[in-house]
């Protein structure tokens, strides 16, 4: 019995030395290092195709994102937020996705407005008002709707 354990250890050491961790990954049904590297390369290629060059000026970055996405204007007049309080329904890095979401909100009877954030993000807000109590009441009403996402919140544009 004392000779069996050293033989097993030597066999395991040889397997690890010759195949690395891939031997054990295969036994466990996990992807090998070559499969993982191939997946990483595919992700790198997709990311390189979708990357937008960073800009120091956020206004300039928003213009670059909009030009890159070639966003068509929403049929209903979506305007830039000018009120103090808004219910933020969602935030997007892509202006195209924000526009699509605004169209969905328009079809539900709301007037969406785009709210720009630092870093080029665009939030889609609804129920703009200058009265805090009215904003809270609107938030409660929106939360009762079946299309309302879980993380909606009120933004006070004066407290950025």
> pLDDT at residue 111 above 50?
yes
**Model pLDDT for residues 119-140, shown as the tens digit of each residue:** 888 999 999 999 999 999 999 9
Q: Distance between CA 124 and CA 47 in Å, rounded? A: 25
Stated pTM of the model: 0.49
pLDDT digits (tens, 9 = 90+) for 26-58: 777 788 888 888 888 888 887 777 664 443 343
Which residues are registered as beta bridge partners of 56? Answer: none
Task: Determine, yes or no, domain membership for 68.
Answer: no
Q: Which CATH number do you get for residue 87?
A: 3.30.70.1070
Query: How is residue 157 written in tokens?
Result: 């544009």
Domain count across the chain: 2
131 and 85 in contact (C-beta within 8 Å)? yes
CA distance 71 to 95: 7
Place of tokens 């992700």: 43
Q: Is residue 65 part of a domain?
A: no
Task: For residues 77 and 142, state if they share a domain.
Answer: yes
Average pLDDT of span 74-94: 73
Q: Are residues 84 and 152 in the same domain?
A: yes
Q: Do 15 and 82 reside in the same domain of the chain?
A: no
79 and 111 co-located in one domain: yes
Residues 101 and 149 in one domain: yes
pLDDT at 71: 42
User: In which band, very low, low, confident or very high, does the pLDDT at 83 lie, cut at 50, 70 and 90?
Assistant: confident
- The radius of gyration computed from the CA coordinates of the chain, to the nearest angstrom, equals 26
Residue 21 has what pLDDT? 73
Kindly give the pairing relationship between strand 113-116 and strand 79-80.
parallel
d(CA 29, CA 33): 13
Beta carbons of 84 and 157 less than 8 angstroms apart? yes
Query: Rounded to whole angstroms, how far apart are CA atoms 55 and 52?
Result: 9
Q: In terms of residue numbers, what domain contains 105?
A: 73-156
For 55-67, letters b (16+ CB in 10 Å) and e give eeeeeebbebbbe
Are 87 and 147 members of one domain? Answer: yes
Half-sphere exposure of residue 69: CA atoms within 13 angstroms, side-chain side: 18
pLDDT at 159 over 50: yes
Asked if residue 103 belongs to a domain, the reply is yes
């Amino acid at each position: 019995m004392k000779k069996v354990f050293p033989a097993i250890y030597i066999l395991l050491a040889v397997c690890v030395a010759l195949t690395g961790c891939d031997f054990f990954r295969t036994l466990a049904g996990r992807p090998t290092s070559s499969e993982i590297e191939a997946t990483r390369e595919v992700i790198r290629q997709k990311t390189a195709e979708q990357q937008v060059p960073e800009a120091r000026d956020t206004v300039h970055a928003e213009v670059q994102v909009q030009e890159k996405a070639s966003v068509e204007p929403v049929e209903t007049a979506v305007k830039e937020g000018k009120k103090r309080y808004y219910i933020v329904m969602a935030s997007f890095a892509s202006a195209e996705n924000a526009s699509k979401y605004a169209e969905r909100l328009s079809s539900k009877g709301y007037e969406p407005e785009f709210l720009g954030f630092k870093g080029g993000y665009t939030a889609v807000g609804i129920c703009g008002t200058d009265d805090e109590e009215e904003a809270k009441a609107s938030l409660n009403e929106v939360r009762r709707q079946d299309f309302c996402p879980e993380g909606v919140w009120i933004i006070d544009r004066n407290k950025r």
